[in-house]
Amino acid sequence: MDTQAQIRISVRNLVEFVLRRGDLDNRRTAGARREAMQAGSRLHRKIQKRMGSSYRAEVNLKHQVEVDGFQILVEGRTDGIIMEASGVTIDEIKCIYMDLERLEEAEPVHMAQALCYGYFYCCDHGLSSIDIQLTYCNIETEQIRRFKESRSFEALKHWFSGLIHEYVKWARYLYHHSLRRQECLKELPFPYPYREGQRELAVSVYRSIVRGRNLFIQAPTGVGKTLSTIYPSLKAMGEGYGEKLFYLTAKTITRSVAEEAFEILREKGNLYFNTVTITAKEKLCVMEKPDCNPDYCPRAKGHYDRVNDAVYEILHEVDGITRGRILEYGEKHKICPFEFCLDISNWVDGIICDYNYVFDPNVRLKRYFAENEPGRAYLFLVDEAHNLVLRAREMYSASLIKEDVLLVKRILKSHPGTGKAVELLEKCNKQFLELKRSYEAERGIHRKALGCSYELLPDVNLLALSLMSMFGVLETFMNEHPEFTDRELVLDFYFRVRDFLYVYDRLDDHYRIYDRLCSDGNFMVKLLCVNPAVNLKECLDKGASTLFFSATLLPIRYYKELLSGNQDEYAVYAESPFPQENRLVLAAEDVSSRYSRRGPHEYEKFVDYICRIVEGRKGNYMVFCPSYLYLNEIEERLARRKAEGSMGFTWMAQRVRMSEEEREEFLRSFEEERDLSMAALCVMGGIFSEGIDLKEERLIGVIIIGTGLPQVNTEQEILKEYFDEHQGRGFDYAYQYPGMNKVMQAAGRVIRTAGDKGIIALLDERFLGEEAVALFPREWGTYTVVNRFNVEQAVREFWGRQEQSDHGAHA
């Protein structure tokens, strides 16, 4: 049968969708009656191995149901099948932290999964009955408790028929929707005439998806990379090479760009393809703070009784489901908008969301990326992929602070029945104390001269064991006491311990463990993910193809190493469609932002450059400084010159922690008509150095002070040491490449369209070094070496050429 006539769903997703009822309630900690995350995986395998020769582990099972001319394929993987003379037993293993003596019965959803597998096995092997077993194991003690019952085939058949009956309406929607979608995608036209290089880029994307390969795309500003990746992805889906599309971003502004691209295709190509944008819970919650329990939020009470109707309605009425539409329908049906948003994602063709919904182990959408879920034909489009390196390191790292252990201990001491938890917290504190004494004894060995003293640790096994013991008891207490003073502080600590144990279970050669005394006097132990490629690959393997694209993916080997770990991945460099003569790249030979050179004299030289460039032609300019401190030094000198009457332009400055309104006001300033030039002082790597689209006369120059090198600190030094050991390129990987990335992002604010003309000024003599020049993007073309005394002439000549060109074009 045609694959279009088949609707696939996992056993897990089917039972969780059909069986949920009642209230949304987050007061139960995430794991008491639910299987633990990675922390239990090794124990899971250990249980399987000691079950003997009659035990078959990790068995894929599936079952098809014929409905109205199409099939529903339900599939999954049971943990084990026990083959004995007395009969067959389906075994589902759940590793949890909860005290098993408090577990009175199997969790209904767990039992439902096992019943599905039992029914499938009976169908495949003609059995009249089968035993169903739930094996719960405590992660810390390895204590096991089993719930076992026998079911007849007829009883399982009746039960499963009821389950499918509840799902048929949804499967029928998916079937008819997918038929119409596939027909549309095959005929979908590109909405505009192709720009130079755009067709070639789209062809490369399509071929990579068809071949099931990943692709790295260095795409300069103006290529139209959003449409150039989405369109061929949709065409590949139309040919059956993709099931669901994930457009992944690091910032809200790039999510709106993706939304606009889909809308363009709907308007100009009659695209039939629905999408949902997943927005953070904090931005969707209608209450003062997100606290999803029926006693606090009226939307949480009975949420699951109303949400399916809301999902069904919005799917039939809206194609591009944005934050605004989520809030509108959430209000109409009185449901939690965030959980509503997640549920919608099950039924749409495309999901626009932050990286963390695919990659972060704490946030990722379990309905697609749970450990036991089979891989599907998902397409991952990773926009601004240069951001994923740092984000992934954060996702797969974890830290704990000694003082937080003591804080939670003090809180719990005041509550009755917490003696065991307090005792185990004290044991954890003693482990921290031993590490702190060792650190103080060794302090200064590592990088003391650079102000980042730390101690690398071979392991934290004893601390982890103490944390495991404490965690199970703390979890039980939290579940039995949904309300008590300072519960939020304890809950936050609980989640940080959970994260720490999760990462601890993943430790390998791509990690480094260190401890240090923080500037506030707290003692921290951190599990630092240095190279996240292995962790990311686990997620990428759930899909069919991944596109990593950005205007700054240089050098490509750096990103291949840290995002996929495979240097054989495909890569393309999209040609810029914009004329090189519209851009002047200046490289200064007589200034530097090195720490050893910082001082009044050097600051004045930078201000000389700013004045001579900004006064060269009336317009708006952005000046990117290495830090807020540096920005303040520049601003102070500009103010002095203004007071002396020796400055012919105005300026404004980015401030620390600007509100959304302040950011918007800052950007609106570029729209204003002025008699004089305006220079916006910003911080490199900050909110205005990427994702800002100031076209044509709104921005005609970018001035970059310094090479963007990260500040020397503990983690940068650990990265440098790691990559020195593994690549022999420690400085490049820890400092040079991330620094140039920030420079290129800042430079990318100018020359956004074919009509743009502008200047990029690189103010640091280190840009003239061979290694830095090798990292200049191809579209920059040639560059002009200048000093303070001839930069004015270079600027004047460039703008003179632009005026001649404009006159020639009009003539």
Residues of the chain with pLDDT under 50: 1-4, 30-38, 444, 447-450
Count H helices and E strands in the chain, helices first: 28, 25
**Euclidean distance between CA atoms 768 and 760, whole angstroms:** 14
Enclosing H/E stretch for 89 = strand 87-96
**What is the per-residue pLDDT for 3?**
45
Q: What is the 3-state secondary structure (H, E, C) of 369-387?
A: HCCCCCCCCEEEEECCHHH
The continuous run of DSSP H or E covering 218 comes out as: strand 215-218
pTM of the entire structure?
Answer: 0.89
* Side-chain half-sphere CA neighbours of 691 within 13 A: 20
The total of other beta-carbon atoms located within 10 Å of residue 133's CB is: 19
pLDDT digits (tens, 9 = 90+) for 78-134: 999 999 988 999 999 888 877 788 888 898 999 999 999 999 999 999 999 999 999
Beta-carbon neighbour count of residue 217 at 10 Å? Answer: 27
- Residues contacting 804, CB < 8 A, separation 6+: none
Please choose, from the candidates 773, 648, 614, the residue with its C-alpha nearest in 3D space to the C-alpha of residue 606. 614
Taking CA atoms, 600 is separated from 606, 611, 765, in Å, by 10, 16, 18
Distance in Å from the first CA to the final CA of the chain: 65
* Radius of gyration for the alpha carbons in the chain, expressed in angstroms and rounded: 29
Domains of the chain are: 3-168 (3.90.320), 201-273+352-396+532-577 (3.40.50.300), 402-529 (1.10.275), 580-810 (3.40.50.300)
The model's pLDDT over 193-217, given as tens digits with 9 standing for 90+, comes to: 998 889 999 999 999 999 999 999 9
The contacts of residue 803 (CB under 8 Å, 6+ apart) are: none
Query: What type of residue is 348?
Result: V
Buried b / exposed e over 96-131, threshold 16 CB at 10 Å, is: bbbbeeebeebbeebbbbbbbbbbbbbbeeebeebb
According to DSSP, the residues that pair with 73 across neighbouring strands are: 8, 64
How many alpha carbons fall within 13 Å on the CB side of residue 180? 12
> Residue 75 forms beta bridges with which residues?
10, 62
Q: What b/e string do you get for 59-87 counting C-beta neighbours within 10 Å, with b at 16 or more? A: bebbbebebeebbbbbbbbbbbbbeeeee
Quick one: how far is CA 278 from the chain centroid? 12
Contact (CB, 8 A) for 100 and 73 = no
Closest CA to 693 of 659, 669, 658, 667: 667
Which of 721, 741, 740 lies closest to 729 in space, CA to CA?
721
